[in-house]
Structure 1
């Protein structure tokens, strides 16, 4: 019998190397207890993209036992090996590579990948997002191919596409343009990470509205007083998207 809702666990910024092991165990227990239909991790699996950190990440994600989509973050490109950073930025994902940018089809939702990373930029820090025409066109092509499908389309990327508040400088270059074009192409929401605190907003550009959902972190690199956290996203058969933020507390 078809389910009444598709359940997606949205996690981000695990930062293996500086991970919060208690928070990771808490997330893992939630996955095993509730068996979501899929997990989306919106980047920064590792702290410095070392082989050891990727091996630890691979072991952990393999142990979760559900379908996974991984969207790389700025920390997931080699930090010291510039040849790898520019020529093969995601090669160290290893066994996880099959999950990088893997489109996920759930009963009541479709998850489309979108890469907002570049190996270098003409500004500092290099950690902020950049929308390239090539990567945006790839995401738009997938949305166009899925346009006739009535299921909501959720786009997954690492960097939030808009500034935290309208009127503030957008740290993601061409993020406003990407937001408008993705919304026009039929995306219902954008899932992201990077900022280490959760949010759920409805924003608009060019008279197009779209949901922006950010996951926090499961690492020790906390910001704005936000504890480690992840999101549970439920999409019902009518296309309604419900987001639950779950915060880790030490008594968990």
Structure 2
């Protein structure tokens, strides 16, 4: 069994300062094998915001890996955005925009879905998809993909879904992905993908924002995932009175090649 803490959309520069220590404390107390951060470390890609994000990462006791979000490239400095978009991310966070983490029973690949030419919308980089396919073919274990932008979203979301997102999901399914972790919407969603051509073969875990004050109707949260070859227990950790506490766990199992929820209650209902 492997434990992954999934954190996203920290948005240093527009954070709830009271929650910074609480989030670090909760992540470290969970003793994950890996902390996965799916982008938007900063609000406006300023150096001081990146510096605060780096200080946060240095307090994480477990190994961590990350991918950038659209807020991690400059919005208002167009020269920097178009010609050197990843300079500060590479300097402060990670030089690798398609990171790979392999340990016994766990294989994780990060995708850079940020599109410098359309700041809000994401893009699929097919060269990176080839990396996913190669890495997953070379290693055994539960296979996880990190991306800032979701590959599927609810119908009421007004943001534009990535172009070719459904085709990319089919490609991820074909190469053996078990889970996709994402952020961007500041909204929680944990369901098998509906668009995968092989049915619910890939499970999505879409967390909200860990620290931002832009909550969009939901609480600050992150996820704890307990994973093995054919099970995934997903616990939502929610900010309550200055600390992060569990608010229900959903249990998923692989049955006939697809993920199904193993609880007796209705889909989406948290356990007590």
TM-score, normalised relative to structure 2: 0.81
- After superposition, give the CA deviation of every residue in 1:81-106 in whole Å (9 maximum; x if it has no partner): 32322233221021422465431223
Unaligned runs of 5+ in 1: none
| Cα gap change, 1:100 to 1:131, in 2 (>3 Å) | closer
Aligned length: 238
| Cα gap change, 1:193 to 1:177, in 2 (>3 Å) | same
Of 69, 89, 106, which residue of structure 2 is paired with 1:109?
A: 106
Tell me, in whole angstroms, the C-alpha distance in 2 between the residues paired with 1:229 and 1:152. 24
Indicate the residue corresponding to 1:158 in structure 2: 148
Give the strand-richer structure, 1 or 2: 2
**Which has the bigger relative contact order, CA under 8 A and spacing at least 6?**
1
Question: What's the offset of the Cα at 1:242?
Answer: 1.3
Question: What's the offset of the Cα at 1:136?
Answer: 2.7
Question: What's the offset of the Cα at 1:160?
Answer: 0.6
- After superposition, give the CA deviation of every residue in 1:130-155 in whole Å (9 maximum; x if it has no partner): 21333333333333333xx1x11000
Secondary structure of the 1:97 match is coil
Indicate the residue corresponding to 1:227 in structure 2: 219
Secondary structure of the 2:240 match is coil
Tell me, in whole angstroms, the C-alpha distance in 1 between the residues paired with 2:148 and 2:212. 16
Do residues 241 (structure 1) and 232 (structure 2) align? yes
Do residues 13 (structure 1) and 4 (structure 2) align? no
Indicate the residue corresponding to 1:207 in structure 2: 198
Indicate the residue corresponding to 2:248 in structure 1: none
Of 13, 31, 37, which residue of structure 2 is paired with 1:35?
A: 31
Unaligned runs of 5+ in 2: 244-272
Indicate the residue corresponding to 1:128 in structure 2: 121
Which is worse superposed, 72-81 or 90-99? Answer: 90-99
Of 15, 18, 23, which residue of structure 2 is paired with 1:22?
A: 18
Equivalent pair of 1:118/1:130 in contact (CA under 8 Å): yes
* CA root-mean-square deviation: 2.1
| Cα gap change, 1:169 to 1:120, in 2 (>3 Å) | closer
Secondary structure of the 2:219 match is coil
Secondary structure of the 1:118 match is coil
Where has structure 1 moved over 6 Å in runs of 4 or more? Answer: none
- After superposition, give the CA deviation of every residue in 1:107-150 in whole Å (9 maximum; x if it has no partner): 332111112111013xxxx312221333333333333333xx1x
Indicate the residue corresponding to 1:83 in structure 2: 79
| Cα gap change, 1:105 to 1:133, in 2 (>3 Å) | closer
TM-score, normalised relative to structure 1: 0.87
